[in-house]
Amino acid sequence: MLELIEAILASTLDFAPSIVLAALGGVISERSGVVNLGLEGMMRLGAFFAAAATLATGSPWIGLGAGMLAGAVGALLHGWLCIRWRSDQVVSGIALNLVALGGVTFLVEALYGSTDTERTATIGKLVLPGLDSVPLLRALSGHSWLAWIALAAPIVMHLVLYRTALGLRVLAVGEKPQAAATLGVSVAGIRYGCVLASGLLAGLGGASLSVSTLDQFNNHMPAGQGFIALAAMVFGKWTPLGAFGASAFFAAANALRISLASSIPWIKDVIPSGFLLALPYLLTLLLLAGFVGKARAPAADGVPYDPEVR
Partner 1 sequence: MADLGLRQKLFGPSRHWLLVPVLSVLAALAICFVAIWLTGKDPVQGYAKMFGGGLGSLRALGDTSLKTSILTLTGLSVALAFSVGLFNIGAEGQLVVGALVAAWLGHAFAPGTALIHIPIILIAAALAGAGWASIAAWLKVRRGVHEVISTIMLNWIAIHLVESWLVVGPLAARSTQSQVSLPGTAQIEATAELPRLMGEINLGLPLALGMAVALFVLLKWTTAGFELRAIGASSEAARASGIDVARRTYLAMALAGACAGLAGAILILGVHRQYPAIFHGGYGFDGIAISLIGGNHPLGALLAAAFFGIIRAGGTKLQLLQIHRTFPELIQGLALLLVAAQMITRHLLTKVAGRAPQGKEAIDA
The residues binding partner 1 (CB under 8 A) are 35, 37, 81, 85-88, 90-92, 94-99, 101-103, 105-106, 108-110, 113, 115, 224, 227, 230-231, 234, 272-275, 277-278, 280-282, 284-285, 288-290, 297, 302-306, 309
Q: Nearest-CA neighbor of 61 among 122, 130, 134, 151?
A: 122
- Min separation Cβ 59 and partner 1, Å: 26
Report the distance separating Cα 256 and Cα 85, nearest Å: 45
Which one, 130 or 310, has the nearer CB to partner 1? 310
Bridge partners of 143, per DSSP, are 126
Task: Tell whether the torsion through CA atoms of 79, 226, 215 and 129 is positive or negative.
Answer: positive
Element holding 144 (H helix, E strand): strand 143-144
> From CA 19, how far away is CA 12, in angstroms rounded?
11
Q: Could you tell me which residues are beta bridge partners of residue 125? A: 144
Inter-residue contact 26 to 32 (CB < 8 Å):
no
Cβ at position 270, least distance to partner 1 in Å:
12
Q: What are phi and psi of 113, to 5 degrees?
A: 60, 25
Which amino acid type is present at position 283? L
Beta carbon of residue 125, minimum distance to partner 1 (angstroms, whole number): 30
Give min distance, CB of 243 to partner 1, in A: 14
**Residue among 126 and 285 whose Cβ is closer to partner 1:** 285
Quick one: 95 or 180, whose CB is closer to partner 1?
A: 95
Closest contact distance (angstroms) between CB of 191 and partner 1 is: 14
Cβ 23 to partner 1, closest distance in Å? 14
Which of 2, 296 has the CB closer to partner 1? 296
Q: Which is nearer to partner 1, 81 or 149 (CB)?
A: 81
Is residue 262 classed exposed, middle or buried when 0-12, 13-18 and 19+ CB atoms within 10 A define those classes?
Answer: exposed
Which of 114, 263 has the CB closer to partner 1? 114
